[in-house]
Structure 1
Amino acid sequence: MTKAALQDETLPSANIQKDKMHKPVAEDFSPSFSSHKPRILLLYGSLRERSYSRLVIEEAARLLEYFGAEAKVYDPKGLPQPDTEDADHPKVKELRDLMIWSEGQIWCSPERHGSITGIMKSIIDWVPLNMGGIRPTQGKTLAVMQVSGGSQSFNAVNQMRILGRWMRMVTIPNQSSVAKAFLEFEEDGRMKPSAYYNRIVDVVEELVKFTLLTRDNSAFLVDRYSERVESAEEVSKRVNQK
């Protein structure tokens, strides 16, 4: 018996359902790349008239266009608090449609009381993991950024990384944190040259690379043994027993 055949017949545990196992090989990945522009959704967590998180997002959108992506910015103004309206509310529907449309995302929140803002959390909380069999965030790329009124901090980006993981997104390694953001922008809203701006360029460039690399294989990358063994409907029935 060959070594490969022996491996095929030997399971790590008797608990494993062999017919549901899949050993990843290079041939599983798509050999071709989609030719359309990467679709990137940008979210920010402030409603202020001069919102520095929005200004960072606008700079990122310009960079995305330069790097050959299609960028759409969601305006959270008018979005109700979670569970206060039905999902057919126009701002909720707009958000969820953009989530489905996107192949990658950028989130930028101010840091408030050592955390992301309530606005940012409300945006994310309106998006379920599953909508009628569609998972609007799973397998999509994510970049996280924050702005601070004081010294540089990473509390907000760290929390958004946790949220991104919970939403089953591929969060890129790089990130941006702009300290004393009120000093980093001109009156017209454009960002001044700085190391902070250079890092934003780094993050956007890296996000485009990861999106190009993963978008044609996102379904395979997030395919799970546990879900091949037990469907979402079966899981729901099991955990909601009376």
Structure 2
Amino acid sequence: MKDGMPNINPDQLNPPDTERLALPDEPQHPPRVLMLYGSLRARSYSRFLTYEARRVLEALGAEVRVFDPSGLPLVSEDSEKHPKVEELRQLSLWSEAQVWCSPERHGAMTGVMKTQIDWLPLAPIGGIRPTQGRTLALMQVCGGSQSYNSLNQMRVLGRWMRMITIPNQSSVPKAYAEFDEQGRMLPSAYYNRVVDVMEELMKFTLLTRGRSAYLVDRYSERVESAEALSTRVNIRSI
């Protein structure tokens, strides 16, 4: 770990204890994490931060996939079968947790970030909602002083997408000064905060993934489903 993650103190990096967070009959495979970033630039600090966080997650025992937004079209009915759209949706269905990382541009998240989220529907795909019940961690990078506008917007979206958005979050100001030429994050309190956020995401994921279906079970939807079933049975009996 020392060569691959020089900023980490291995004696203080503690993989989550599954026995303390999950019941014996709950999933035992590594938590599945999808990561999204919001910039297409060659030197993209949101991508650098995402991959730095990925290393932490993998050290903590997660299985991680990062979606490359290059080539993802804008949202339209004509593009629903686009390969990048289908890839993104399948990754979301696969995931048990997600990390969203956006730059802040003009006081808001980027269009690249919002387009990815917009392509994830609330409606089920093959009977499964692609975001509901999944845990979510949020990060942003800033070109200047520290800000939280993108984080606040993504937190609203996380709730809207019925995700379990964890309390902790990461905002990295003056990101150009926090990464070396190879795109690796320098040691700092900001780096340590990223580790904090990934640790918390892992714990919340282990705590909730075996119970997510129950946690998001809703009275209104049960009533609607019962009414739909009743209607269907009555039509067949005519």
- TM (normalized to structure 2)? 0.84
- Cα distance in structure 2, aligned partners of 1:160 and 1:232: 34
Structure 2: gaps (5+ residues): 1-21, 229-238
Aligned CA RMSD, in angstroms, stands at 1.7
Aligned partner of residue 231 in structure 1, secondary structure? helix
- For residues 3-60 of structure 1, the C-alpha deviation after alignment (integer angstroms, 9 at most, x for no partner) is xxxxxxxxxxxxxxxxxxxxxxxxxx96533210000000000000000000000001
- Contact residue 44 and residue 54 of structure 1 kept, 8 A: yes
| Larger radius of gyration between Structure 1 and Structure 2 | 1
Matches within 5 A, 1:125-140: 125-130=118-123, 131-140=125-134
- Contact residue 73 and residue 79 of structure 2 kept, 8 A: no
Q: Could you say if the C-alpha distance between residues 37 and 187 of structure 1 is closer, same or farther in structure 2, counting changes exceeding 3 Å?
A: same
Are 1:186 and 2:180 matched, yes or no? Answer: yes
- Contact residue 82 and residue 126 of structure 1 kept, 8 A: yes
Q: Could you say if the C-alpha distance between residues 232 and 158 of structure 1 is closer, same or farther in structure 2, counting changes exceeding 3 Å?
A: farther
- Cα distance in structure 2, aligned partners of 1:119 and 1:45: 5
Q: Give the C-alpha shift of residue 101 in structure 1.
A: 0.3
- Contact residue 132 and residue 163 of structure 2 kept, 8 A: yes
- Cα distance in structure 2, aligned partners of 1:206 and 1:145: 13
Matches within 5 A, 1:91-240: 91-130=84-123, 131-231=125-225
Q: Structure 2: which amino acid aligns with 1:190? A: R
What residue in structure 1 maps to residue 76 of structure 2?
83
Are 1:45 and 2:38 matched, yes or no? Answer: yes
Q: Give the C-alpha shift of residue 226 in structure 1.
A: 0.7
Aligned partner of residue 166 in structure 2, secondary structure? strand
- Cα distance in structure 2, aligned partners of 1:74 and 1:35: 24
Are 1:36 and 2:29 matched, yes or no? Answer: yes
Structure 1: gaps (5+ residues): 1-28, 235-242
- Cα distance in structure 2, aligned partners of 1:63 and 1:77: 24
Task: Identify the range of structure 1 (171-180 vs 124-133) with the bigger mean alpha-carbon deviation.
Answer: 124-133
Q: Could you say if the C-alpha distance between residues 220 and 92 of structure 1 is closer, same or farther in structure 2, counting changes exceeding 3 Å?
A: same
Query: Percent identity among equivalent residues?
Result: 68
- Contact residue 184 and residue 191 of structure 1 kept, 8 A: yes
- Contact residue 30 and residue 217 of structure 1 kept, 8 A: no
What residue in structure 1 maps to residue 11 of structure 2?
none
- Cα distance in structure 1, aligned partners of 2:197 and 2:227: 38
What residue in structure 2 maps to residue 62 of structure 1?
55
- Contact residue 35 and residue 98 of structure 2 kept, 8 A: yes
- Contact residue 33 and residue 212 of structure 1 kept, 8 A: no
Q: Give the C-alpha shift of residue 230 in structure 1.
A: 1.1
- TM (normalized to structure 1)? 0.82
Q: Structure 2: which amino acid aligns with 1:138? A: Q
- For residues 146-202 of structure 1, the C-alpha deviation after alignment (integer angstroms, 9 at most, x for no partner) is 000000000000000000000000000000000000000011110000010000000
- Contact residue 96 and residue 127 of structure 1 kept, 8 A: yes
